Structure 1
Amino acid sequence: MRVNKMYSYALLIPAGLIYGLFFLYPTVMSFFFGFTRWNLTDWEWIGFDNYIMFFEESSLMIGFKNTFIFAFLTAGLKVVLGLIFAVLLTAKLRTKRFIRSMVFFPVLVSTIAVGIAFSVLMHPSEGLINMVLGLVGIDGPNWLGNPNLAIYSVAFVDVWKGVGIATVIFIAGMMSIPVDYYEAHQIDGGNKLNAFWYITLPLSRPAINAVIILALIGGLRTFDLVWAMTGGGPGFSSDLIASIIYKQYQAGFYGLSTAGNVILFLMVALIVFPIFKYLNRKEVDL
């Protein structure tokens, strides 16, 4: 028994080494280098100066506002749309396999490729989206050039790309619900709406919680799609915390950008962990 237990722990060693080398060690060193002015060959301890400078960044408040808007908007839409798609795709539809592939296809495409493609599609005069709107007499807006619209345009593209993952998670959660519950509900004379509201929705809570947490973490940390579509512009109107950090890194302020990453890490943890604890208390056991 002791040998089997040691053998089980031995199997964890490779994964533990990889985790420690590529996640734990860089995380710890990030906390250290956030207090330094460093480059590839040297470093100098400067205390909290990087953190003070980071919070003095002129576009920081815009970045915080946009990050929260982006994260909560995309997470909410992924939950709602993913749930709707999952309900449709678990129903008896002849074309559900085709619809499943269409919903999940964007997940397989590179985020940078999606960003570049939608930058072309959303061009104010030559983009396909505004051309189609023009055919029905609607004057399409400047999706990515309007400071009041740019962050929302990127958010909807992120939802289009990420809703497939949410849908798959919801389908898995719904498929795990025992059929007996629906049969008993049908015998009692319940309709499909009541079955969804009183059976599917409560018993899909673990899947809903997983989608909320994953979507929130992804939204708070998003960088690549925003950078590919707007570069944080026009001006700073679509900057997120992650894009501000990247601009500081581009400018050669490595210690400052490292401090920004530490702040982003702590911000995500402080937002997501309480929500995670709250959602777990609300789960319904099968």
Structure 2
Amino acid sequence: MTAAAANAKPAKRRRPRNRWRATGWKFAAPGLSMIALVLGLPLVYAVLLSLSSFNLLNPVLEPFVGLANFETLLVDPYFWHSLAVSFEYTVATVTGAFGLGLLIAVLLTRVVRLKAIYFAILTVPVALAPVSAGLIWHILLAPGRGVINQLIGLAGLPVPDWLGDPDLALWTLVFVELWQQVAFVVLILSAGLAALPRRPYEAAEMDGAGRWQQFWYLTLPLLRPVVGIAIVIQLINVTRAYDLVYVLTRGGPDMGTDLLSIYTYRQAFLGLSLHDGAAASFVLLMMVLFLSLILFRLVTRRA
């Protein structure tokens, strides 16, 4: 009897859990079905495009060529150049946005008065559409009539060609991207900082820990889940950046800002080869997923 009763207890415990799980799947089924239709069907069609010979001059999927389109990408030097530029742009923008966002978020935690006004000012760049932001900065950075260059000229300094110099164009894009995206990271990290428990800090102060020690040994470990979300979202936004780059440089000068998204657009619509564009877009998707998984594991692992 004792063995039978012991075997019966786990079954009783599992039934409510299984019932709640089944109920949860029933409630989630309509939303998941809609997501599968909205995202799944275009994704499947994109897979077919990447494996076909579809182009705008001959708009049919057949004949299917298998992985030939991906093999064409691997021997294309422009693809590898775009991949390298995209990697440099992504690393610079994501690390810069996180570093500046964390610094501003920590400073804002010490602000008592007018905090709402500071947050309102920070959200202005995020509220702008990338095309609008690109047009604004294109006017500000124009070589002859741009406000920034006119101020530099009045100071007697050499006037740089921010968007026309191959050595400056990419870093100008990084600056504009940071200007628009840092506030988003600040908002996420500020919410995480506001939700941190106070007891560990009180105990650390009693033990004589300084502010830097509290930040390094308490704030950063406790913020890891929030940091993971902020970095992954920022990585996705930056990696698929297209409109801002297209408005400011269109991939130039000398392909110095030719990101993988610009390369995909050029292959699909300017080269009329939708199959090559679809293959390049899948490489971009795999890169985003791979980097997102690595970063999420790094920032959420236990110390």
Superposed pair shares fold, TM > 0.5: yes
Q: 1:141 to 1:43 in 2, by over 3 A?
A: same
Q: CA deviation at 1:262?
A: 1.3
Which is greater in Rg? Answer: 2
1:115 is displaced (CA, Å) by 0.9
1:142 paired residue number: 161
- What is the DSSP-based 3-state SS (H/G/I as helix, E as strand, rest coil) of the residue aligned with 2:255? coil
Pick 1 or 2: higher relative contact order, CA cutoff 8 A, min separation 6. Answer: 1
Match of 1:157 in 2: 176
Contact 1:34 1:255 in 2 (8 A): yes
**In structure 2, what is the equivalent of residue 223 of structure 1?**
242
Residue 41 of structure 2 corresponds to 25
Deviation of residue 272 (structure 1)?
2.5
Displacement of 1:223: 1.4
Residues 67 and 219, structure 1, Cα contact 8 Å, conserved in 2: no
Distance 1:174 1:150, change over 3 A: same
Within 1, Cα distance between the matches of 2:94 and 2:137?
A: 20
Distance in 1, matches of 2:250 and 2:67, equals: 29
Q: How many residues align?
A: 283
The AA in structure 1 aligned to 2:52 is: T
Answer yes or no: is 1:256 the counterpart of 2:276: yes
Distance 1:19 1:196, change over 3 A: same
- Alpha-carbon distance in structure 2 between the residues aligned to 1:135 and 1:99: 31
List alignment gaps of at least 5 residues for structure 1. Answer: none
Question: By how many angstroms is 1:163 displaced?
Answer: 0.7
Distance 2:193 2:122 in 1: 17
Residue 39 of structure 1: how far off its partner (Å): 4.7
61, 64, 86: which one pairs with 1:43?
A: 61
1:178-224 deviation digits (Å, cap 9, x = unpaired): 11222223333433333323322222222222222222222222212
What is the aligned counterpart of 2:206 among 184, 187, 207?
A: 187
Instruction: Note if contact 1:62-1:237 (Cα within 8 Å) is conserved in structure 2.
Output: no
Alpha-carbon separation, structure 2, partners of 1:173 and 1:5? 29
Partner of 2:265: 246
Q: Which segment is superposed worse, 119-128 or 206-215?
A: 206-215
Q: Distance in 2 between matches of 1:79 and 1:73?
A: 10
Indicate which of 274, 278, 290 corresponds to 1:270: 290
- Superposed CA offset, 1:147-197 (max 9, x none): 111111111111111111111111111111111222223333433333323
Q: 1:231 to 1:279 in 2, by over 3 A?
A: same
TM-score, normalising length: structure 1:
0.90
CA contact (8 A) 1:123 1:130 kept: yes
CA positional deviation for 1:77: 0.7
Decide whether aligned partners of structure 1 residues 48 and 8 sit closer, same or farther in structure 2, where only a CA change above 3 A counts.
Answer: closer
* 1:43 counterpart letter in structure 2: L
**Residues 227 and 299 of structure 2 are in contact (CA less than 8 Å); yes or no, is this contact kept in structure 1?**
no
TM-score (norm 2): 0.86
Identity %: 29
RMSD: 2.1
Map of 2:300 onto structure 1: 280
After the TM superposition, which residues 94-133 of structure 1 pair with which residues of structure 2 at under 5 Å, given as runs?
94-133=113-152
Q: CA deviation at 1:141?
A: 1.1
Letter paired with 2:281: N
Runs of 4+ aligned structure 1 residues displaced above 4 Å come to 1-7
Match of 2:53, SS state, is: strand
Shift of 1:3: 8.1
- Alignment of structure 1 residues 201-240 onto 2, 5 Å: 201-240=220-259
Question: Structure 1 pair 191/7, CA: closer, same or farther in 2 (3 Å)?
Answer: closer
